[in-house]
A and B are shown apart, each in its own frame.
Chain A
Amino acid sequence: MKDQKKKKSSYISSGESRKITRFNRRVTKKFEKRREDAAKDPALYTTRMKDPNNVVEFDNVRTYFFTDVGVVKAVDGVNFEIPKKSTVGVVGESGCGKSVTSLSLMQLLQRPQGQTVSGEIRFVKDDGSAYNIVNTPNSIMESIRGNDMSMIFQEPMTALNPIFRVGDQIDEVIILHNPDMPKEDVKKRTLEMLDLVGIANKEGVYKMYPHELSGGMRQRICIAIALACSPKIIIADEPTTALDVTIQAQILDLLKNLKDKLNSSIMLITHDLGVVADMADYVVVMYAGRIVEKGTAREIFHNPSHPYTIGLMASKPVVGQKVEKLYNIPGSVPNPVKMPNYCYFRDRCEMRCDKCDGQYPPEIKIGDTHIVSCYRFIDKGEVLDYPKTVEVEDLYNE
Chain B
Amino acid sequence: MSDSNNVSGYSNENLLEVRNLVKWFPIKAGFFKHTVGQVRAVDGVTFSIKRRQTMGLVGESGCGKSTCGRTILRLYPKTSGEIIFDGQDVSALSKSELRHMRTRMQIVFQDPYSSLSPRLPIGEIIGEAVREHGIVPPDEFDEYITRVMEACGLPEYYKERYPHEFSGGQRQRICIARALALSPEFIVCDEPVSALDVSIQAQIINLLKQLQKDFGLTYLFISHDLSVVEHISDTVGVMYLGSMVEYADTESIFKDPLNPYTKALFSAIPIPDPDVKIHRIILKGSIPSPANPPKGCKFHTRCGECMEVCKYAAPEWKEVKPGHFCACHLYNGADEQARAEETMNKIKSSDGFVEKEESAEL
- Rounded to whole angstroms, the CA-CA distance of A200 and B360 in the bound complex is 7
Q: B201, B203, B269: which contacts A245 (Cβ < 8 A)?
A: B269
Tell me, rounded to whole Å, the shortest Cβ–Cβ distance linking B252 to chain A.
Answer: 13
Is the CB–CB distance between B280 and A313 below 8 Å?
no
- Rounded to whole angstroms, the CA-CA distance of A276 and B231 in the bound complex is 21
**A-contacting residues, B262-307, CB 8 Å:** 264-276, 280, 282-283, 286-287
Is the CB–CB distance between A277 and B266 below 8 Å?
no
Closest-by-CB residue of B relative to A297 is B274
Is the CB–CB distance between B201 and A315 below 8 Å?
yes
Q: B205, B206, B267, B362: which contacts A205 (Cβ < 8 A)?
A: B362
Does B317 interact with chain A (Cβ within 8 Å)? no
Q: B201, B203, B270, B361: which contacts A200 (Cβ < 8 A)?
A: B361
In the complex, chain A residues whose CB is within 8 Å of the CB of B272: 273-274, 276-277, 301, 313, 316, 318
Is the CB–CB distance between A246 and B362 below 8 Å?
no
Tell me, rounded to whole Å, the shortest Cβ–Cβ distance linking A262 to chain B.
Answer: 20
Please judge, given known A-B contacts A246-B264, A319-B226, A323-B231, whether A201 and B271 are in contact too, CB under 8 Å: no
Is the CB–CB distance between A326 and B197 below 8 Å?
no
Does A15 interact with chain B (Cβ within 8 Å)? no
**B-contacting residues, A322-368, CB 8 Å:** 323, 325-329, 332
Is the CB–CB distance between B282 and A326 below 8 Å?
no
In the complex, chain B residues whose CB is within 8 Å of the CB of A145: none
Does A141 interact with chain B (Cβ within 8 Å)? no
- Count of interface residues, chain B, beta-carbon cutoff 8 Å: 42
Does A312 interact with chain B (Cβ within 8 Å)? yes
- Rounded to whole angstroms, the CA-CA distance of A201 and B199 in the bound complex is 41
- Rounded to whole angstroms, the CA-CA distance of A216 and B201 in the bound complex is 25
Please judge, given known A-B contacts A319-B230, A326-B231, whether A275 and B273 are in contact too, CB under 8 Å: no
Residue among A94, A249, A271, A276 facing the most chain B CB atoms (10 A cut-off): A249
Closest-by-CB residue of B relative to A215 is B61
Does A244 interact with chain B (Cβ within 8 Å)? yes
In the complex, chain B residues whose CB is within 8 Å of the CB of A326: 202, 205-206, 231
Does A214 interact with chain B (Cβ within 8 Å)? yes
In the complex, chain A residues whose CB is within 8 Å of the CB of B160: 1
Please judge, given known A-B contacts A1-B160, A93-B199, A315-B199, whether A246 and B230 are in contact too, CB under 8 Å: no
Does A33 interact with chain B (Cβ within 8 Å)? no
Does A298 interact with chain B (Cβ within 8 Å)? yes
Q: B197, B228, B269, B362: which contacts A271 (Cβ < 8 A)?
A: B197
Does A81 interact with chain B (Cβ within 8 Å)? no
Closest-by-CB residue of B relative to A325 is B206
Is the CB–CB distance between A277 and B270 below 8 Å?
yes
In the complex, chain A residues whose CB is within 8 Å of the CB of B362: 199-201, 204-205, 213-214, 217
- Rounded to whole angstroms, the CA-CA distance of A214 and B61 in the bound complex is 11
Residue among A204, A326, A327 facing the most chain B CB atoms (10 A cut-off): A326
Please judge, given known A-B contacts A201-B362, A326-B231, whether A277 and B199 are in contact too, CB under 8 Å: no
Please judge, given known A-B contacts A94-B197, A246-B60, A250-B283, whether A315 and B271 are in contact too, CB under 8 Å: no
Tell me, rounded to whole Å, the shortest Cβ–Cβ distance linking B224 to chain A.
Answer: 6
Q: A200, A246, A298, A315: which contacts B198 (Cβ < 8 A)?
A: A315
In the complex, chain B residues whose CB is within 8 Å of the CB of A312: 198-199
- Rounded to whole angstroms, the CA-CA distance of A332 and B273 in the bound complex is 27
Closest-by-CB residue of B relative to A244 is B60
In the complex, chain B residues whose CB is within 8 Å of the CB of A217: 286, 362
**A-contacting residues, B170-225, CB 8 Å:** 197-199, 201-203, 205-206, 209, 224
- Rounded to whole angstroms, the CA-CA distance of A216 and B59 in the bound complex is 15
Does A311 interact with chain B (Cβ within 8 Å)? yes
> Other CB < 8 Å A-B pairs besides A204-B362, A319-B269, 14 of them?
A245-B226, A245-B269, A246-B283, A247-B286, A249-B283, A252-B270, A253-B280, A272-B198, A274-B227, A277-B272, A315-B202, A316-B227, A326-B205, A326-B206
| 10 examples of A-B residue contacts, CB within 8 angstroms | A1-B160, A93-B198, A94-B197, A217-B286, A250-B282, A272-B198, A277-B272, A277-B276, A319-B266, A326-B231
Query: When A and B form their complex, which 4 residue pairs have the shortest distance between CB atoms, in order from nearest?
Result: A274-B270, A315-B202, A317-B231, A249-B268
